[in-house]
Amino acid sequence: MGKGKGDVKLLGAWPSPYAVRVNIALNLKSVDYEFQTENLATGSKSELLIKSNPVHKKIPVLLHGGKPICESLIIVQYIDEVWSDGPSILPSDPYDRAVARFWAAYVDDKFYTAVKGIVVADGEEAKAAAVKVLKDGLVLLEEAFLKSSAGEGKPFFGGDEIGYLDIALGSLLGWLRVTEKSFNVKLFEEATTPRLVSWVDSFCKHPAVKDELPETDKLFEYAQKVVYPRIKAFAAAAAK
C-alpha cells in the first residue's frame, strides 16, 4: 500500500549513500514514488537534475508535485514533516532532536572525509592513521548510542524504530563495508563498538532498509573502477 500526496519522484543513484537515505525515509512512510537513476559513473547529468538543483547539480533531489527539495538530510526532514501520519523519523522531544541532528551532522562532516583519507593514504602507516580516524568516530557514535537508546535496551538510535540518525549513519554501511574489504580492516568490532555491531545487523534487516543498501560486491567493483580512481585523481590535482 502506498500513500501519496501528489506525485513523488526521486532523482538518485544506487551507489549514493545520500540517495539511499531518501529511499529509506520514503519506504518508512510507505510513500509511492518514481525513481530516476542518474548516471554517476559518466558524470552526465539529466536536464531534470540540472533544472531541479541548479545550485549544486547533485543527487538526491526529491520532486514533490514538481517542486524540488535538495540535500539528503533536508529531504529526510521534509518527508518526516509532510507524511506526518507515518512513523516519526525525528524524535518528538526538542533536546533529543538536537542530539540526533548533531550526530547526523557529525556523520556528514567526518565520515566521507575519513573514508577519502583512507583511499589517498600513502603507505601502511598513513593508512593505519586514517583508519584510526574513522574508528575513533565510530567509538563516539557507540558512546552516543549507549547514552541514549542502547542504554535502555533499544535496538536503534531512534529507539524501537529506526530514526533520523539511524538513517544518516546506516546509509553509509555499504561504503563502510567496501572500505573494510578494500583495505582489509575491521571498522565495527565487538572489542570497540559492540552495540553498533548489533545495530548494523538490525538496521540492515529492517524492511525499509534491506532492499536499499547496495550489495557489497557490486559496490566494491564500482569503487575500484570509478570512485577510488576519481578520489585519487582529485587529491593529486589538489596537491599541485
Partner 1 sequence: MGKGDVKLLGTWPSPFVTRVKIALKLKSVDYEYQEENLGSKSELLIKSNPVYKKIPVLLHGGKPICESLIIVQYIDEAWTDIGSSILPCDPYDRAVARFWAAYVDDKIFPTIRGLGMAKGEEAKAAVVKELKDGLVLLEEALLKSSGKAKPFFGGDEIGYLDIAFGSLLAWFKVMEKYFNVKLLEEATTPRLVSWADSFCKHRAVKDELPDTHKLFELAQNVMFPRWQAAAATN
Does 50 sit near partner 1 (CB under 8 A)? no
E strand map for 18-143: 34-37, 61-64, 67-70
Does 239 sit near partner 1 (CB under 8 A)? no
Cell of 203: 538496521
Does 71 sit near partner 1 (CB under 8 A)? yes
Does 205 sit near partner 1 (CB under 8 A)? no
Cell of 166: 539511524
Q: Which of the stretches 101-109, 112-120, 191-199, 231-239 binds partner 1 when contact is defined by CB under 8 A?
A: 101-109
Q: In terms of C-beta density within 10 A (0-12 exposed, 13-18 middle, 19 or more buried), how is residue 219 classed? A: buried
Instruction: Tell the residue number behind the cell numbers 536499499, with chain if given.
Output: 212
Binding test (CB under 8 A) with partner 1, winner from 43, 66, 94, 153: 94
From residue 174, alpha-carbon distances to 47, 49, 182, 199, 217 in Å are: 28, 24, 12, 14, 10
Q: Is 72 left (phi over 0), alpha (psi -120 to 50) or beta?
A: alpha
Binding test (CB under 8 A) with partner 1, winner from 20, 63, 75, 169: 75
Binding test (CB under 8 A) with partner 1, winner from 74, 128, 139, 233: 74
Binding test (CB under 8 A) with partner 1, winner from 97, 135, 154, 230: 97
Binding test (CB under 8 A) with partner 1, winner from 4, 32, 41, 102: 102
Q: Which is it for the CA torsion 77, 83, 84, 85, positive or negative?
A: negative
Smallest separation (angstroms) from partner 1 to the CB of 29: 13
Binding test (CB under 8 A) with partner 1, winner from 95, 124, 205, 239: 95
Smallest separation (angstroms) from partner 1 to the CB of 36: 19
Q: Which of the stretches 28-36, 92-100, 111-119, 205-213 binds partner 1 when contact is defined by CB under 8 A?
A: 92-100
Q: What is the DSSP letter of 157?
A: T
From residue 54, alpha-carbon distances to 62, 71, 95, 168, 205 in Å are: 14, 12, 34, 24, 36
3-class SS of residue 196 = helix
Does 81 sit near partner 1 (CB under 8 A)? yes
Q: Which of the stretches 72-80, 111-119, 163-171, 211-219 binds partner 1 when contact is defined by CB under 8 A?
A: 72-80
Report the side by side order of strands in the sheet with 8-12. 34-37, 8-12, 61-64, 67-70
Does 98 sit near partner 1 (CB under 8 A)? yes
Binding test (CB under 8 A) with partner 1, winner from 30, 36, 46, 78: 78
* Binding positions for partner 1, rule: CB under 8 A: 55, 64, 67, 69-71, 74-75, 77-78, 81-82, 94-95, 97-98, 101-102, 105-106, 140
